[in-house]
């Protein structure tokens, strides 16, 4: 196969591992900066111009699209799809997962467990908004935040109302979410590839920190998911149309709750924690779906 990895930085762990795994399995692989691609649309068909040449002859593409460039990155992925190139992550899936509100709406329709969430058009009745999310403590999240940035825990009613009023005053779009106390600052990351959980870890926030992101100093350990947790992670990825996904779950008294679904999940944490060759599994997924 001829594989394109869409990444702005070839030295990133995830990008390097995917390149290594593709080469080990005998494939030709190229790292392409999606922001440097020109999208050309005409009657004769779609094409992509990169550097000084057209991108031709590719069998598969693995998108590694950063949240800050979702719009253009997704357009490039869509162009590859229009050129009949198999994408490990669909453009539709990326769009759905990156919009936190839309993601939760889609998952809710499918009956998946979720923390209670409230979103308004800068409502002045902030007291009612907080109460609707179950009352303090509540978590407030910027719709476009990543890796724990733009996430605030308001521990009492006054703090929750003040923070929400501040965000509203800045015209910042936020969701107010129920705080799951029993999760104790931990979440589960289930790595899903082609409808199967291929690796899972439990991430624990550092002392005094309710966010469990490894980027924020959290720790991780390998974990065996329950049947319900596996089924929830697989259904979440499937619902959003993601062949590759990192599904974050919270353990609650009412079962697993989907916290977030990542369409470009990092490989370093999951491979280091589980010792599994997740990059190799992703390449095998491409092989299964590409007919040469």
> Does some domain include residue 280?
no
* Distances 99 to 39, 164, 260, 263 between C-alpha atoms, Å: 23, 20, 10, 11
Considering the domain boundaries, does residue 202 fall inside one? yes
CATH of the domain at 50: 3.40.50.20
Residue 99 in any domain: the answer is no
Residues 173 and 234 in one domain: no
Mean pLDDT along residues 97-113? 93
The enclosing domain of 121 has a CATH number of: 3.30.1490.20
Do 212 and 170 reside in the same domain of the chain? no
Let me know: does 50 contact 36? Beta carbons within 8 Å. Answer: yes
Residue 105 has pLDDT above 90, yes or no: yes
- Residue finishing a domain among 74, 89, 104: 89
Closest CA to 147 of 264, 10, 225: 264
Total number of domains in the chain: 3
Mean pLDDT of 189-213: 83
Q: Could you tell me the strand order of the sheet in which 28-32 lies?
A: 28-32, 2-6, 60-63, 86-87
Are 84 and 133 members of one domain?
A: no
238 and 174 assigned to the same domain = no
User: Are residues 205 and 146 part of one domain?
Assistant: no
Q: How confident is the model at residue 212 (pLDDT cuts 50, 70, 90)?
A: low
Q: Which of 86, 76, 68, 55 is nearest to 6 (CA)?
A: 76
* Whether residues 167 and 221 fall in one domain: no
CATH number reported for the structural domain that contains residue 212 in this entry = 3.30.470.20
- The answer to whether residue 22 sits within a structural domain is yes
8 A C-beta contact, residue 288 and residue 221: no
Judgement on whether residues 165 and 195 belong to the same structural domain of the protein? no
Residue 269 falls inside a structural domain? no
Residues 115-146 have pLDDT tens digits of 999 999 888 899 999 999 999 999 998 886 55
- Is 122 a member of any domain? yes
- The verdict on residue 279 lying in a domain is no
Pick from 79, 80, 78: nearest CA to 94: 78
What pLDDT, in 10s, does the model give residues 60-94?
999 999 988 999 999 999 999 999 999 999 999 99
pLDDT category of residue 183 using cuts at 50, 70 and 90: confident
Structural domain boundaries, residue 23: 2-89
Residue with tokens 């149309």: 241
Does some domain include residue 40?
yes
Are 212 and 254 in the same domain? yes
- 233, 240 in Cβ contact below 8 A? no
Measured CA to CA, the distance from residue 242 to residue 29 in angstroms comes to: 22
- 41 Cα distance to chain centroid: 29
């Amino acid at each position: 196969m001829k594989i394109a990895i869409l990444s702005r930085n070839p030295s990133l762990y995830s990008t390097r591992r995917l390149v290594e795994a593709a080469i080990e399995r005998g494939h030709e692989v190229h790292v392409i900066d999606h922001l440097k691609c020109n999208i050309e649309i005409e009657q004769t068909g779609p094409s992509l111009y990169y550097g000084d040449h057209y991108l031709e002859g590719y069998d598969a593409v693995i998108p590694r699209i950063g949240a800050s460039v979702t719009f253009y990155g997704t357009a490039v992925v869509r162009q590859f799809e229009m050129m009949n190139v198999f994408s490990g992550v669909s453009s539709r899936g990326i769009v759905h997962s990156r919009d936190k509100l839309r993601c939760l709406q889609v998952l809710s329709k499918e009956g998946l467990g979720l923390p209670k969430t409230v979103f308004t058009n800068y409502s002045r009745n902030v007291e009612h908004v907080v109460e609707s999310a179950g009352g303090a403590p509540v978590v407030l999240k910027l719709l476009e935040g990543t890796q724990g940035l733009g996430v605030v825990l308001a521990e009492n009613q006054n703090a929750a109302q003040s923070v929400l009023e501040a965000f509203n005053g800045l015209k910042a779009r936020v969701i107010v979410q129920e705080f799951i106390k029993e999760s104790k600052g931990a979440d589960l990351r289930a790595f899903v590839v082609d409808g199967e959980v291929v690796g899972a870890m439990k991430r624990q926030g550092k002392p005094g920190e309710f966010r469990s992101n490894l980027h924020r100093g959290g720790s991780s350990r390998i974990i065996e998911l329950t049947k319900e947790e596996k089924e929830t992670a697989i259904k979440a990825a499937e619902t959003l149309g993601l062949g590759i996904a990192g599904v974050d779950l919270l353990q609650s008294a009412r079962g697993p709750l989907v916290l977030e679904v990542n369409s470009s999940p990092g490989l370093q944490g999951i491979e280091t924690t589980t010792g599994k060759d997740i990059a190799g599994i992703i390449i095998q997924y491409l092989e299964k779906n590409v007919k040469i």
